[in-house]
Amino acid sequence: MIPRSRALAIIFFPSVAVTIHPDSSPNDIHPRQTRETLSPVFPSPTYSTPHDPSCEYLIREEKGRSERGKKLQGLPKEFVLPEYDSYCLSNVTPTVLSLFDVKSERPRIPRDAFGDVEVGSPERVILIVLDGFGYREWENQSAEGFVKAMTTKGHTRAITTVFPSTTAAALTSLSTGLTPQEHGLPEWFVYFRELDMIIATLPFSPMGDPGRDTLRRTTDPRILFKGETVYRKLAREGIPSHSFVNRNIAETAYSTTSLKGSETNSYSSSSDLMAMVRRKVEASATSRAFFYVYWSYVDTIEHRYGPNTDESSLEAALISYSIQKGLVEKLDSKVAQKTLVIVTADHGQINVSPKATLYLNRYRKLVKNFERSESGKKILPAGSPRDVFLHLGTNADDMREYLEKKLEGMATVLSTEESIRMGLFGINNPQRNFRDRVGDLLILPHRKDTIWFDHTKETGRPRRVPDGKFDLLGHHGGLSEDEMRVPLGVARLADLR
C-alpha cells in the first residue's frame, strides 16, 4: 500500500513528416563493487537460476559484456550494439518505476550512471526525451542553456538506444519498458501479415497513404505492439498519469494506445507546454509525480537539413533555452528541491546523401524472389534506408549470398535469426508476430550509406512521399555511433539553477 498519492505526467510532442521517412516525431557495477553499494531504489532483477544473490549484478554485467564482445565478431567495428542488459534506453522507464518503488523485473539503468547525484526516493521525476538529440549533438550544445546546466551541475553520460535506432521502436520501448523484439514494433514502415500490407506505424496508415489513422476505421490499433504501458502499472499503485501531447496528435491511434493509462492534455507550442508543465509540477507539491517530456522538432529539422547544421543546432539551442527558462528557473524553489530530472533521446542522426542512395529495384533477381503473401502479392522491402527488412521465404539463403556480393563494402547482410541470436533487437523471446514483421534478411548500410526501394515502381502508384525516392539529409535507424549513442543526464532540478 502506498502511503501518499502520486501522479505521472507525460509530455508528447508530434512527429512532423517532411519526406520519405517521417520518423521524426511523432547494471553496470565496477567489478570490485558489491551490490550493497547500490541505492535501494535500484534493486537487482529477480533471477530464476539459483546463484549467490550477492553477485547477481556482477554475474549479469560481466556475462553481458562478454557476450557483447562475441556478438561483435564479424560485424564492422563502426557498429554499436544496444546494451539491453544495462545502459540502454529501454531500461529508463523501468528505472523510473523503481524510483517510485513499483516492482519490476526488467533491467534497470545502473546506479553509477547517476554519478554523485542523490537519487533516493524523489517526490517528483521529470523525464525529458529529446527526439534526434544524440550524444554528439548533446556535446555540441554543452555551452549553454539546460544542456550546460545538466552537464556542469548534474551528471551526464552516453547510453545506447534500442535497435533499430528509430522513433517507433524507441518510444514504444519507453512506453512499455520492453525491447523491440518483445513489444514487436521495430520501425516506421513495417509489413503486417495480418493486414497483408506495409504500414506507416505511427501514422497508422498504409504505406503511400498521406493521411493519418486511415486504418483506425477497420483495425484495432492494439495490433501495433504488445505489452502493458508503464502508466497502467503506475495506476495500479495509485499513481495517476498525465500526458501532454501536441493537439495535432493527441487523439491518434498510436498516442492513445502507447499512452494508455494516462490522462491526456494537449498543447500548441513549447511556450504553453512549459507553462502547463510548471503548473502541473507545482500542483503536485504535496504528492509524488512523474512527468515525461518528449520534444520532436530537433529530429524534424535534422531530417530536413541534416544534423550538425546551423538549422539543427539552433533548434537544439532553442529547446535547451526553453526548458531552462520556462521550467527550471521558474519552478517553485521548494518543489524543485525534491524534483529529479532525467534527460535522454530516442536516437541520434547522421548526415546522408539522398543522391547516393542505392535502390534495390536494380537487382531484378532479388525482386523476382520476394516472398508472396497468401493473396499472391509480393511483400516489398520495409524498415528504412538505414535498416532494410526483406521478406524472401525459402529464397532467403540464396538471396543473402547474392546481396553480399552486390553490396560488398557497402552493407552487412544478416539473417533475421542471426540478428535475433546476436541480440540486436532485444532480450527474451520475440513476440509472436515479430519475425513476420522484420522478414528474413536485414541489410545494414555502413558508414553514412543509404539503401532503399522505390515502391512506386512496383505498385504503380504515383510517385510521392513516403514510398518513392528518398530525399532526407539526415537519417537514423542503423548501428553507427552517432545513431546509437544518446545522452543520459540526471540532476536534482534545484541544482540546475
CATH number at residue 422: 3.30.1360.180
Asked whether residue 57 is assigned to any structural domain, the reply reads: yes
- Same domain? 25 vs 170: yes
* Assigned domain for 333 exists: yes
Give the integer Cα–Cα distance in Å for 156 and 433: 37
Answer yes or no: is 373 within a domain: yes
Q: Which domain holds residue 383?
A: 354-476
If DSSP codes are grouped into helix, strand and coil, which group holds residue 205?
strand
The helix/strand/coil state of 422 is helix
Helix segments in 338-433, DSSP class H: 364-368, 396-406, 416-422
Is residue 97 in a domain?
yes
Pair 10, 22 in one domain? yes
Counting the structural domains of the chain, the total is 2
- Tell me, yes or no, whether 229 and 326 share the same domain: yes
- What global pTM score does this model have? 0.86
396, part of any domain: yes
**415 and 440 Cβ atoms separated by less than 8 Å:** yes
Q: Is residue 2 a contact partner of residue 237, using CB atoms and an 8 Å limit?
A: yes
**In one letter, which amino acid is 163?**
F
What does each C-alpha distance from 44 to 58, 92, 99, 114, 127 come to in angstroms? 10, 15, 13, 16, 22
Judgement on whether residues 219 and 327 belong to the same structural domain of the protein:
yes
422 and 305 within one domain? no
> Residue for cell digits 550493497?
36
Pair 127, 142 in one domain: yes
The CATH number covering residue 229 comes to 3.40.720.10
Is residue 1 in a domain? no
In 3D space, the residue among 417, 412, 308 whose CA is nearest the CA of residue 79 turns out to be: 412
Decide: residue 49, CB within 10 A, 0-12 exposed, 13-18 middle, 19+ buried: exposed
Do 399 and 345 fall within a single domain? no
- Determine how β-strand 451-452 pairs with β-strand 358-359: parallel
What is the per-residue pLDDT for 32? 27
Residue 68, domain member (yes or no): yes
Q: Is 354 exposed, middle or buried (0-12, 13-18, 19+ CB in 10 A)?
A: middle
Question: Are residues 166 and 249 both part of a single domain?
Answer: yes
C-alpha 442/C-alpha 80 separation (Å) is 16
Residues 340 and 385 in one domain: no
Residue 159 inside a domain? The answer is: yes
C-alpha to C-alpha distances, 208 to 22, 410, 455, 464, nearest whole angstrom: 12, 28, 9, 7
Tell me, what's the pLDDT at 120? 84
263, 375: one domain? no
> Is residue 186 helix, strand or coil?
coil
Q: Which three cell numbers stand for residue 452?
A: 532503399
Is residue 166 domain-shared with residue 242, that is, in the same domain? yes
pLDDT of res. 138: 97
Cα four-point dihedral sign 348, 426, 358, 481? positive
Same domain for 387 and 335? no
CB-based contact 118:63 (threshold 8 Å):
no
CA distance 393 to 78: 30
Residues β-bridged to residue 386: none
User: How confident is the model at residue 11, as a pLDDT?
Assistant: 47
Q: What is the pLDDT of residue 462?
A: 55
What pLDDT was estimated at residue 55?
A: 32
Averages of pLDDT over runs of 10 residues in the chain (497 residues) are 44 40 38 31 35 33 46 82 98 96 95 92 92 97 96 98 99 98 99 98 95 96 97 90 81 94 84 91 89 90 97 96 96 95 98 97 98 97 98 97 98 97 97 97 98 87 62 98 99 97
d(CA 97, CA 380): 40
Residue 222 burial (C-beta neighbours within 10 Å; 0-12, 13-18, 19+): exposed
Q: Give the pLDDT of residue 95.
A: 97
- What's at 36, amino acid-wise? E
What does DSSP say about strands 6-12 and 288-295: parallel, antiparallel, or unpaired? parallel
Q: Report pLDDT for 259.
A: 93
Per the document, the length of the chain is 497
